[in-house]
Structure 1
Amino acid sequence: MYASLWRILPGPVWLRIIFVLILVAAVLFVLATWVFPWVDQMINPQEATVGG
C-alpha cells in the first residue's frame, strides 16, 4: 500500500516527502478534530470500574 502511494505521488523525492508529511498532518488533524471526540462520546471512561 505504501509503495503504491509512493509511486503515484508526483515529483522528485524531496517533493514526495513534503507531500507525505502534509498527508500525515492532514490525517492527524482529522483524527484529533472529528474521530477521537466521536469515539470518546461512545466510550465513557467514568463508567469503567476496576476490581469488584
Structure 2
Amino acid sequence: MFFLWIYFAYFIDTSAAIFNIPLWFFGSGILFPSVNFFLVCFFILVISKT
C-alpha cells in the first residue's frame, strides 16, 4: 500500500507539471492519501474520456 501511495504522489506531481496545475493544490493530496486517490481516479476518468 505504501508503494501505491508513492506512485499516486508521483502521478499527481507529473500530472500537475503536464497540465500546469498549481503544486500547492496537490500538496494537500499528498498529505491525505484518500484525497490523493480521488485525484488519481479523477485524472484517469478525464484521460479516458478524451
Does the TM-score normalized on the shorter chain lie above 0.5? no
Between Structure 1 and Structure 2, the one with more helix by share is: 2
The higher radius of gyration belongs to: 1
